[in-house]
A and B are shown apart, each in its own frame.
Chain A
């Protein structure tokens, strides 16, 4: 049940990424290029996604606080950490730099990979290596 629901969520999420133009690195870079002819589209993608999700996340928080479970029966897990530290900011800077170079972030890269877009394949392999590199050697013990 949970897995089937997760599959549907991933599918809708991926369709949203394609519809919103996120799977085209050129489109993403057009958004990140403030000094060039700027394409504000992706701000609307983010804005619309947040507008839709705010209510449901508040509801999820309330259900969690009342020790209620998710529809599938799984416990509701929301991040509790609130620390703002150098790792959080440094990680954001590294991610943003990579995003700016390639025009790919993780979700759209996976979707583009599955569509057979070769650059996404190269990116995703490197991303997986980067994740393992961090988790193996750079993670705080």
Chain B
């Protein structure tokens, strides 16, 4: 796969909107990405899946401008070209249980217009090895565990080494060992847009993060900047503090508080969780 465009931004979305009936799933989202792994963080129902579907050219936006790889998905010829260079992993992929893992990835490779059988065989093998399924590639999908099924779908998204990867909760069902592998897998594509509701994944995998609540973006920046939102607003104590906005018991037995610290409080460096909570607090006061 060679990149024929050299435009700076691989994803350029301006004021995207999508409604289903009366509910506005995505309400004016703007997003730009030009390489690296971008995380889309937010609770369930925040509109992440709808946004990702639009970015994967599976769903047409109701309003707004979208450019992927410099091309316009609203035009059919350009859309086909985008799809040739794109890999998509939906949430809860429905894979036909009667296919083997090999069958499925091979089928998707065919849909991606890879007609050379020998090339396909090597590529399907390579991608299944990269997700650790080389031993079970000829087993039927119904005989695979949940984590393995997820990895089959991931392999299908990765086949052909697409430039742009759109992944909806890719780490779903993977064990910690495989999550670590995910990082090296993601580095193969130029731009990866992945959603998660797990904050630690953002820290481990993403260079940039967008936080979404109720169809809107409330934050865009690096993970460090997200943590920085809670700078100076986190302290730890031996006991609970009713003045804090949020308090919880940590694993070490102390209490961690978020809010306006009282004088003399033991301030600590904010983590991603703290920053996210701060943001959530502001979004839903």
Chains A and B come from one and the same complex: no
Tell me the B residues contacting A by CB distance below 8 Å. Answer: none
